């Protein structure tokens, strides 16, 4: 089981704005902001659902190649809301919400590129009720 993951971002303010808005429909918010005296002056933020941060952004040279991070959604509506919020926050379309049966029968996902070009996804693995 993965405990947490993260990625490097080039512009902490732009990325914080993007992730705060894009992940809100999934219930994610900033839970931890590491004091800069522990990060050599870099912005480091931990996102998650209380009480634990499991997705971190770190202000540094962006990862190359770009990373793919998928967040689990409870239902198709959350996937759709993530996609709309991510685009409104400056993300770029990388795959509109919809079924992806080539992954499995009930896979429903949406893909957006973050400000640095990382492929961020919201996915639901359940049949829509």
pLDDT-based confidence at 8, cuts 50/70/90?
very high
pLDDT-based confidence at 128, cuts 50/70/90?
confident
Quick check: 30 and 13 in contact, CB under 8 A? no
Edge-to-edge strand list for the sheet holding 52-59: 5-9, 52-59, 44-49, 29-33
87-102 pLDDT, tens digit per residue, is: 999 999 999 999 999 9
99-116 pLDDT, tens digit per residue, is: 999 999 999 999 999 999
User: Residue 55: helix, strand or coil by DSSP?
Assistant: strand
30-81 pLDDT, tens digit per residue, is: 999 999 999 999 999 999 999 999 999 999 999 999 999 999 999 999 999 9
In whole angstroms, give the CA distance from residue 60 to residue 57: 9
């Amino acid at each position: 089981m993965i405990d947490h993951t993260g990625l490097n971002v080039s512009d902490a303010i732009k990325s914080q704005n993007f992730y705060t808005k894009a992940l809100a429909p999934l219930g994610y918010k900033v839970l931890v902001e590491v004091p800069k005296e522990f990060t050599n002056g870099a912005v480091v933020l931990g996102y998650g659902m209380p009480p634990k941060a499991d997705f971190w952004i770190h202000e540094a040279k962006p990862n190359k190649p770009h990373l793919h991070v998928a967040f689990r959604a409870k239902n198709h509506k959350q996937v759709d809301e993530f996609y709309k919020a991510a685009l409104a926050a400056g993300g770029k379309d990388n795959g509109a919400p919809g079924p992806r049966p080539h992954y499995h029968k009930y896979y429903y996902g949406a893909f957006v590129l973050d400000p640095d070009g990382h492929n961020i996804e919201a996915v639901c693995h359940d049949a829509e009720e």
